[in-house]
Structure 1
Amino acid sequence: MVLVDTDFNRIPEGTQSGVVETEDHIKIRWARWAPTGSPLKGTVTIVQGRTEFIEKYFEVVEELRARGFYVVAFDFRGQGGSQRLLKNERRGHVENFDEFALDLHAVLDNVSLSDCPGPHFLLAHSTGGAVVMHANRRLKTKIDRAIMTAPLVGLAMNGRARRLAGALAKSLVWIGLGNAFVPGGNDKILLDYDGNTLTSDKDRFKRMNDILVQAPQLGLGSPTVSWFRAMGLATEKFKEPDFQLGFGVPSLVLGAGKDEIVSTDDAEELCRSCPGMSFVEIRGSRHEILMERDPYREQFWAAFDAFIPGSAE
């Protein structure tokens, strides 16, 4: 569960890392850094997306540290350097998003809140955003604000396709195939730049692949049927008025204008219905805003600095 160093993605100086155990006894890898800039502005905990790992965020870590933040990052169960859940470790698996919420709370309680100064903020991406929303009731007393990039409010599929996929996943879980890859899924961890839907930045895309070439144990393939089913159940709750009115973590949602993975329209619609959320679209960006080209990332950092208290000082 050590961190991986590559020629073009060096481990930031002053790294502290370790393992925390969740309430259900899953080992979660975490890392922590002190700020390099001043004045001190609090702590940001990074809540990553599906298939991601701590090493992917080293550039973001350094940018946050330079702004005066302590930074904490971790890998969700079943991915990166955290404990895998199935014999085939390339299968992205979870039974319920409550399990991801346990990972987040274990890191917050035992690393971020216990050892780092407030105020406390979350920076969540994609599936990480869905986990933050799913876990929001317990977060109200822990977190001051959250920023979510391209959060998984709904997949970029039309309504009929979503309903059919959801029904298929429910049936497959019911007959005992929950641990199988989703139909058409595989254990491939390296992607080709041409045709990718993640980023238009070739250098950052290559950096991600280079990490996986050197440390394939960090990689993750397609999700399982159970993961897909759990995702569907979690995101359906976001449409309920009780969720929207009760969401208690002041949040800024940044949608990617050219997202082909999650639905930017769904995220914007949720923000219209949820008093605790504001929405900004970064036009032209693909799904991974923080791994995109600099013009898109600069828009992200401008929004971050405007929303997080003290960040722009």
Structure 2
Amino acid sequence: MQGSSVTALVDPNGPKLAVTANNPVPEGVRVGFFTTSDKLRLRYAIWPKSAGPHRGTVCLVQGRTEYIEKYFETVADFRARGFAVATFDWRGQGGSERLIGNPTLGYVDKFDDYWTDLRCFHAEILLPDCPPPFYLVGHSMGGLASLYAATRDRMMFDRVFLSAPMVSLYKMEQAMKRWALFAEVASFVGLGKVPVARKGDRRPDEAMFVNNPLTSDVLRYNRMVETIRADDGLYLGSPTLRWLAASMRAMADAAHDSFPATLKIPMLMLAAARDEIVYTPAIEALGLRLRTGRHMVIPGARHELFMENDSIRGQVLAAFDAFITDQTRV
């Protein structure tokens, strides 16, 4: 996959979007910063619908390490269905404010901070600038944050659609509480900013496609590589012990028997059958206990369902249409 890269300046005084020939920005974008209640500056982007009847706004929230540019293709898919799209970069990643001295390390003080990000985005951007009704679409870590948002305010979003939500990590499902305790103790004694180094956290390149756990689609994988090369400031590598402590505790709490009863928004969770990032059986177990939702497992899929091959993406978008598009008022 070849293509020259450019940096698109939407506003000379505002944030930028990294654009490549193979990943053009959908037209009509408005990019800016908003400030959270705890005074962090986060990058956001919104698009009007591009075709068809008005159906409301999809609020798209990303996984760990991700960024707005990664979802340009998916944004175009939602807009073609009649939706406006609004998205932002979580604190500590993408084009948003980084939280510690080493900007390549994933860090968050507590998982509830992601709720602060989403709540402030809803109040500052969605409500004043985007057409209702609002639909929340979350991937991986953003899926876990979306689950917690659904327990906090069931009026913010009409429906929630999740892609491989991070409710448990692959091969760590039996040790979640122990890892959370270890990471919490390490953070308490001042080691919270120490990275948990992993091979898969290196800057991506084309050679890493073989046996990668994210997608079976080489073109979409290389598109991610090109985007990071276009703007290395988007890169986020290893998580820190503090991020691990916060996330492990949130996952452990979501595994409690009482958690499903707190989810009262209509919800569909998609799981990837070949996921080696999050633990698919944990998604299935939660899905079976939902009172207002259900789950589906996509055969042959790796973790990043929206970045998978056309056949798998077609199944994901068909599920989205059945659960959200076909249920909207036009």
Rounded Cα–Cα distance in structure 2 between residues aligned with 1:177 and 1:169 = 9
Q: Spell out the pairing of 1:252-267 with structure 2 (5 A cutoff).
A: 252-267=268-283
Specify the alignment match of 1:113 in structure 2: 127
Alignment of 1:143-292 (within 5 A): 143-184=157-198, 188-191=202-205, 192-292=208-308
Any unmatched runs of 5+ in structure 2? 1-14
Partner deviation per Cα, 1:25-68 (whole Å, 9 max, x = no partner)? 01110000011111011100101000000000000011111100
The Cα shift of 1:296 comes to: 0.4
Q: CA, structure 1 residues 49+57, in 2 after alignment: closer, same or farther (shift >3 Å)?
A: same
Distance in structure 2 (CA, Å) of the matches to 1:51 and 1:11: 19
Q: Which AA in structure 1 matches 2:258?
A: D
Alignment of 1:33-44 (within 5 A): 33-44=47-58
1:8/1:184 CA distance change after superposition, 3 Å: closer
Residue 114 of structure 1 aligns with an amino acid whose one-letter code is P
Q: Does structure 2 conserve the Cα–Cα contact (< 8 Å) formed by 1:53 and 1:81?
A: yes
Aligned to 2:77: 63
Q: Distance in 2 between matches of 1:118 and 1:279?
A: 25
Amino acid at match of 1:211: T
Provide, for residues 99-128 of structure 1, a one-character-per-residue CA deviation record: whole Å limited to 9, x for no partner.
Answer: 111111111111112211111101110000
Partner Cα separation in structure 2 for residue 3 and residue 111 of structure 1: 18
Conservation of the 8 A alpha-carbon contact between 2:81 and 2:325:
no
CA deviation after TM superposition for structure 1 residue 159, in Å: 4.1
Length-normalised TM-score, structure 2: 0.91
Aligned-CA RMSD value: 1.7
1:45-124 paired onto structure 2 within 5 Å: 45-124=59-138
Q: CA deviation at 1:187?
A: 6.5
| Aligned equivalent of 1:5 | 19
Q: Within 2, Cα distance between the matches of 1:203 and 1:116?
A: 32
Q: How far apart, CA to CA, are the structure 2 residues paired with 1:175 and 1:7?
A: 47
Provide Cα deviations, 1:244-294, integer angstroms capped at 9, x if missing partner: 112122110000000000011001101111212210010110000000001
**Structure 1 position 239, deviation (Å):** 2.2
8 Å contact 1:51–1:220 — kept in the other structure? yes
- Percent identity of the aligned residues? 39
- Partner Cα separation in structure 1 for residue 326 and residue 174 of structure 2: 45
Q: CA deviation at 1:6?
A: 1.0
**1: CA distance, partners of 2:158 / 2:64:** 24
The runs of 5 or more residues in structure 1 that have no matched partner are none
1:197-240 per-position Cα deviation (integer Å, ceiling 9, x unaligned)? 00000000000010001100001001110101101111122123
**2:180, 2:246 within 8 Å by CA — same for their partners in 1?**
no
User: Any idea what SS the aligned residue of 2:250 has?
Assistant: helix
Deviates more, 1:197-206 or 1:236-245: 236-245
* Residues 255 and 267, structure 1, Cα contact 8 Å, conserved in 2: yes
SS in structure 2 at match of 1:81: coil
- Residue by residue over 1:145-197, the C-alpha shift from the partner in whole angstroms, topping out at 9 and shown as x without a partner, is 01000000100124444455334313311221001101547963225111210
Report if aligned partners of 2:66, 2:94 keep a CA contact under 8 Å in 1: yes
SS across alignment from 1:135: helix
Paired residues of 2:195 and 2:240 also in contact (CA < 8 A): yes
